[in-house]
Amino acid sequence: MWRWAALVIALVALLTLLLTARRAPPRRIVGTFHSHALAVRTSPKTAPPRVNAVPPRAMVSTPDRAVVDELCGVKGPALKRAGNETIAQHITRLTQSVISRWQSALATSEDPRSQAIGLALENAHPDPRANESQDTPVNNSLVLLAIETNDPAIYALAISRCGDGYAMAAGPCQALSWEHWANIDPDNAVPWLWIAAKASNSGNQEDAEEALAKASMASRLDEYNSAFTAIALSALPRDISPLDKAVAGVDVISTRPLGIPAADLAVTLCSEMAVQEPTRKQQCTSIASDLADGGSTLFDLAVAGSLAKTLGFPADQQTKLQIERRNAAMNSMAHNPWRYTDEGSGLTLGSDFRCDTVLGYDAFIDALRVAGGNERAALAALGRAVQSAK
């Protein structure tokens, strides 16, 4: 069981992967997944800061003889792995040039939000087992940009790279706070949920109730995942190869919050015991409705379903959420060329990794771009397309 959180559900499997290896520094390919319900709970106090990441698979040596991989859009000598490269390292090497130019173009853009996502892409999801400091030049540049612009979206992204449980990591990250995010983004439930959870964890129930009340009255619950995903995907070259696009799409998804998603905090604050109190139940009902109606990720959808059950939503609403979650999970699996291995080595390329699986993942990335970065909408669109094709 992962030490940070094990969030599992029947009929749910992998959504995303993470390819984050660099040569200078080398990009490592690390798998990630999104779980779609909450079966085992880990409190923010004890959870490590990376909910979405799983330990990278062990490096598997390949024979010294040349190995030829079937890689979509790749031809000639490039199909051969060098030395003892794994297929993940092979893909990293082949896509390094395009991915680096794309990230650099974002980071040097005149648009602050493009700069922000470019910086996040450069340092997305380091090896979660390495306990690397978040006090890095790239993260520090993102923090400085957040402070200079006071843009709520950039501030949220910077916090997502700096969060360490209820606190901020050492270094310039210490200049950020949930309270300041709430001040510049008062109609967003996310910072208020964090303030409420932090106060509750420290035993300050009065402040927790006040913050949760503000979260329940906010008009939206937005971690800005969709906004930054849309910016990054829109910057991809139109003539990008299928393999390059697949890697770019994975990198974008890997920039999502390293720590505990705000929706997960709602489950803790809205436990079965807590919602016995009428005011808390009313507040949690409002938050659950916001997630059910406007949540943009599969995790949001899963939490909405969990809260709907806890709060006793009408049966038809619960069934609707269950069906959407099941269909989204199936579409996610169908468009994912990566697989989770039983031997405990994490995510790896499936034995069926061929051009059609790359194109399937590219179809998801295309749908994600069209949907403005909303993965829930993108997977629903893919499901409709599959049904129309039958």
Q: Whole-prediction pTM value?
A: 0.78
What are the pLDDT digits (tens) for 205-220?
A: 999 999 999 999 999 9
Question: Over the chain, what HEC string results?
Answer: CCCCCCCCCCCCCCCCCCEEEECCCCEEECCECCCCCCCCCCCCCCCCCCCCECCCCCCCCCCCCCCECCCCCCCHHHHECCCCCCHHHHHHHHHHHHHHHHHHHHHCCCCHHHHHHHHHHHCCCCCCCCCCCCCCHHHHHHHHHHHHHCCHHHHHHHHHHHEECCEECCHHHHHCCHHHHHHHCCCEHHHHHHHHHHHHHCCCHHHHHHHHHHHHHCCECCCCHHHHHHHHHHCCCCCCCHHHHHHHHHHHHCCCCCCCCHHHHHHHHCCCCHHHCHHHHHHHHHHHHHHHHHCCCHHHHHHHHHHHHHHCCCHHHHHHHHHHHHHHHHHHHHCCCEEECCCCCCEEECCCCCHHHHHHHHHHHHHHHHCCCCHHHHHHHHHHHHHHHC
CA neighbours closer than 13 Å in the CB half-sphere of residue 42: 18
Q: What is the pLDDT along the chain (390 residues), one digit of tens a residue?
A: 332 233 333 323 333 332 333 333 333 333 333 332 222 233 333 333 333 333 333 334 434 456 777 788 788 888 888 878 877 788 888 899 999 999 999 999 999 999 999 999 987 643 333 345 677 888 899 999 999 999 999 999 999 888 777 889 889 999 999 999 999 999 999 999 999 999 999 999 999 999 999 999 999 999 999 999 999 999 999 889 999 998 898 888 877 765 567 888 899 999 999 999 999 999 999 999 999 999 998 889 999 999 999 999 999 999 999 999 999 988 887 777 655 444 444 344 554 567 777 888 899 999 999 999 999 999 999 989 888 877
| Residues 197 and 229 sit within 8 Å (Cβ to Cβ) | no
CB within 8 Å of 297: residues ≥ 6 apart:
34, 225, 256, 261, 263, 375, 376
Return the pLDDT at 373: 94
Residue 340 pairs with which residues in a beta bridge? Answer: 347
Rg (CA), the chain: 21
CB within 8 Å of 237: residues ≥ 6 apart:
98, 102
CA dihedral 183, 185, 187, 191 (to 10 degrees): -80
Q: Is the dihedral of CA 261, 126, 90, 252 positive or negative?
A: positive
What are the pLDDT digits (tens) for 85-105?
A: 877 788 888 899 999 999 999
Return the pLDDT at 24: 34
Q: Nearest-5° angle of CA 369, CA 351, CA 103?
A: 35
Residue that the structure tokens 């913050």 belong to: 211
Return the pLDDT at 272: 94
